[in-house]
Structure 1
Amino acid sequence: MIEKERFVPIRIQKNHALLKRIPKNHPKRPDIESDQTRRLAGYKGEQAIDFYLSKLPEKEFLIFHDLRLSNGRYFFQIDTLLISASFALVLEVKNYGGTLFFDPDFNQLIQTNNKGETKGYPNPIEQASQQSAELKKWFQKPNFAIPVEFLIIISKPSTILKTAPGYSKMLQKVQHAQFLLRSIEKIKVSYKNEAMTPKDLKKITRMIIKEHIPETVDILKYYGIPPDDIQTGVICKVCSSYPMKRHFGIWYCTKCQSKDKDAHVHALKDLFLLNKNSPLTNQEICRFLHLPSGDIAKKLLTSMQLPYSGSKKGRVYFPPPGYQQIKELE
């Protein structure tokens, strides 16, 4: 049973909003595009295992995607976590292609692509091992003693896996996605005794959901982009030009003449994603949407039923609940 669904990661959403609203020739654009390409590939790899996870017995496993938990000062992230009554399984998903060499001497992963170019990465086995250790510590808070295993899942079936002679045992923790179910069955054989009751499983599910902390980042500060570099206005979803004009309750594109009643919804989402995780004033929203008056902005915000606090000039607006929980980029 899926207890926490997989959604487009917030960093991907923020990058997407940023790329829509900086000039094509912006000096930071290549860095953002490179980062976005890497993150999208990783997300695609994570999605690739969902087909296999859907074949697991629904009543036997609890599935949590994209977790971010803490044991105190630092956070640890898990791509996918499976919990059964007998064991927990951390899945670290990699969408690397070409040939992967797991170097035991320098404890790193070396990728050689189809062009013969090489690139080094931290050893994902070490990474997943640390995540598992942190999860074990986290389980100790509610006093649960459950075995924790981990697997590195390579989402591309064509990827070649290699390591140094005598270290083949290292790759037992690394599997192509199509062998995931077989690997889970092998782990099940090792843990036949139940470590958690149905009541324990319900309790741990509530704790995981409650203590999951979504990633937050000031995306403009991260890339060093001044707020004045952001291009404001409502974007036309037909021709991507902006700003659209608002006439008689309708957004109108002066370039392609298309009309849209709710185009401001997407613009406001961009604004919340690019904002510093702070509430927005009517004036800030009015300026971003290029509205002629605060009264029009207030009507739009009221129609969207945005959460708010304060009154009159002191009122500030918050993003709608779950606005970041999307399956695909818009």
Structure 2
Amino acid sequence: MIIKERRTPVVVSGLQLLLTRLLPHYPLRTYLEDELAKYLSGHKGEQSIDFHLKDLPQKEYLIFHNLRIPHNNSFFQLDILILTPNYFFIIEVKNFSGKLYFDQDLFQLIRTYNGLEETFADPISQLKRQRYCLMDWLKDHHSVEIPVEAVVVISNPQTQIKVSPGRTEVYKWISHKINLPEKIRYFDKKHSEERLSMKDLRKLSKALLKAHTSPTPNLLQKYQISQDDIVKGVSWPSCGLIPMIRNKRKWFCPSCKCYSKSAHIQALKDYALLFGPTITNSQFRDFIQLESRTIAKKLLLSMDLPTSGELRHRKYHLDFDEWLSLIHI
């Protein structure tokens, strides 16, 4: 049973948005397009794992996608977490092509693809840290001690995997996605004793969902993009025109001659992704290119957003998870 569904990563949504709100000849556009392709590849790799999990018994396997849990003034993130009454299972997904060499002497991953050799941080070390953090969180917050298994899953079946000479024990931490069902059957046999009841698992599921914290990456800071480089205004998704014009209590697109009463909602989502989850009336007017403070206030109040502060210092809070689920109008 899927308890937490997979969503499009915030960084993917943010980069897609950046590319629509940057000028066509912006110097970093090609680099940002490459970054987007990289993150999309990882997302598609995670999606491809779903086929190999679909036959798990619905009531006995509780599946979480992309959990991000606070721990010791930081966070640990799990691509996939599966809870069972007997053990828990962490899956770290990597969508690499070519040849992979897991160097466990220097703790690095070396990929050779199209004649180019690249070095990455060791995903096994990353996985072991995630496993430790989860076990520590379970013990500290819920007094739960249960076996936790973990595997790095390579989602591309054509990727060749090698490890350091004499370090064959490392293979227990790595698997192609096609072998994932067999891994789960192995763990099922290995852990035959029930440690938690389904009632306890459901209670723990609620605690994990409550603890989950969505990332809020500052893409402008990460890619050193000035706010002046962002094209402001309400956009119309059909033609991509920015800005739309406020006319007769509606938003009007001069290009396709269409009207919308609520196109500013998408603009708020854009703002949340680019600048953060709070906005003032002044910031709202500047971003959607609207002069009237009164109209801006009415638009903001009509959405029943949580607020803090008074009068000109009032901030409107944009729920990040909720705003990410909004679609273009």
State the TM-score, normalized to the length of structure 2: 0.91
Structure 2 equivalent of residue 244 of structure 1: 244
**Aligned equivalents of 2:270 and 2:149: distance in 1?**
39
Change (3 A) 1:137 1:327: farther
Over 3 Å counting, the alpha-carbon distance change for 1:30 and 1:6 in structure 2 is same
Other-structure match for 1:275: 275
- State the 1:328 CA deviation: 8.4
2:322 match: secondary structure: coil
Contact 1:13 1:329 in 2 (8 A): no
Q: Report deviation, 1:165.
A: 4.3
Cα 1:81–1:268 change in 2 (3 A) is same
Question: Any conservation in 1 of the 2:101–2:162 contact (CA below 8 Å)?
Answer: yes
2:217, 2:165 → 1: CA distance?
A: 43
Other-structure match for 1:75: 75
User: After superposition, where does 1:186-197 map in structure 2 within 5 Å?
Assistant: 186-197=186-197
Q: Tell which deviates more after alignment, 82-91 or 3-12.
A: 3-12
Partner of 1:58: 58
**1:95 shift after superposition:** 0.7
Q: CA deviation at 1:125?
A: 1.6
For the 8 Å contact 2:237–2:328, the answer to whether it is kept is: no
C-alpha distance in structure 1 between counterparts of 2:117 and 2:258, whole Å? 48
Which residue of structure 2 aligns with residue 48 of structure 1?
A: 48
* Partner Cα separation in structure 1 for residue 310 and residue 10 of structure 2: 30
For the residue of structure 2 that corresponds to 1:323, the secondary structure is helix
In structure 2, how many angstroms separate the alpha carbons of the residues matched to 1:307 and 1:136? 35
Q: How far is 1:327 from its partner?
A: 9.5
Contact 2:69 2:213 in 1 (8 A): yes
Change in Cα spacing, 1:94 to 1:251, as seen in structure 2 (3 Å) is same
Pairing of 1:102-113 with structure 2 (within 5 A): 102-113=102-113
The residue aligned with 1:221 is 221
Looking at structure 2, the residues matched to 189 and 270 of structure 1 have their Cα atoms a distance apart, in angstroms, of 48
Query: For the residues of structure 1 that align with 2:295 and 2:14, how far apart are their CA atoms?
Result: 27
Q: Give the Cα separation in 1 of the matches to 2:275 and 2:225.
A: 12
Partner of 1:119: 118
Give distance in 1, aligned partners of 2:30 and 2:265: 28
Structure 1 moving runs of 4+ over 4 Å:
327-330
Pair 1:295 & 2:294 matched:
yes
Q: CA deviation at 1:216?
A: 2.4
* Cα distance in 2, alignment partners of residues 91 and 327 from structure 1: 28
Cross-structure match for 1:37:
37
Select between 89-98 and 24-33 the one with higher mean Cα deviation: 24-33
Q: Indicate if the aligned counterparts of 1:6 and 1:327 stay in contact, CA closer than 8 A.
A: no
Deviations 1:51-80 (A, max 9, x none): 222221111111111112233133211111
The residue that corresponds to 1:3 in the other structure is 3
Q: What secondary structure does 2:254 align onto? A: coil
One-letter identity of the residue aligned with 1:77: Q
Distance of aligned partners of 1:239 and 1:327 in 2 relative to their CA distance in 1, 3 Å threshold: closer
Distance 1:256 1:156 in 2: 42
Provide the rounded CA distance (Å) in 2 between the counterparts of 1:268 and 1:327.
10
Question: Equivalent residue for 1:307?
Answer: 306
**What residue in structure 2 maps to residue 179 of structure 1?**
179
How many residues align structurally? Answer: 328
Superposed CA RMSD in Å reads 2.3
Separation in structure 2 between the aligned mates of residue 95 and residue 328 of structure 1, nearest angstrom? 27
Kept in 1, the 8 Å contact 2:235–2:267? The answer is: yes
Give 3-state SS (helix, strand or coil) of 1:49's partner: helix
SS state of the match for residue 321, structure 2? Answer: coil
Q: Deviations over 1:76-101 (max 9, x none)?
A: 11111111111111100011112212
What's the CA shift string for 1:261-299, capped at 9, x where partnerless?
Answer: 33222111101111134x211222122112231222233
Q: From the superposition, tell whether residues 321 and 231 of structure 1 become closer, same or farther in structure 2 (CA, over 3 Å).
A: closer
In the other structure, the counterpart of 1:23 is 23
2:274 maps to a residue whose letter is: L
Q: How far does residue 186 in structure 1 lie from its aligned partner after superposition?
A: 0.6
Which deviates further from its counterpart, 316-325 or 36-45?
316-325
**Deviation of the 1:46 alpha carbon:** 1.0
Give 2:132's aligned residue: 133
Q: CA deviation at 1:259?
A: 3.3
Once residues 286 and 92 of structure 2 are traced to their aligned partners in structure 1, the CA distance between those partners, rounded to angstroms, is 43
Residue type matched to 1:34 in 2?
A: D
Overall identity of the aligned pairs, in %:
37
Distance 1:329 1:110, change over 3 A: farther
Q: Distance in 2 between matches of 1:244 and 1:158?
A: 47
Gaps of 5+ in 2: none
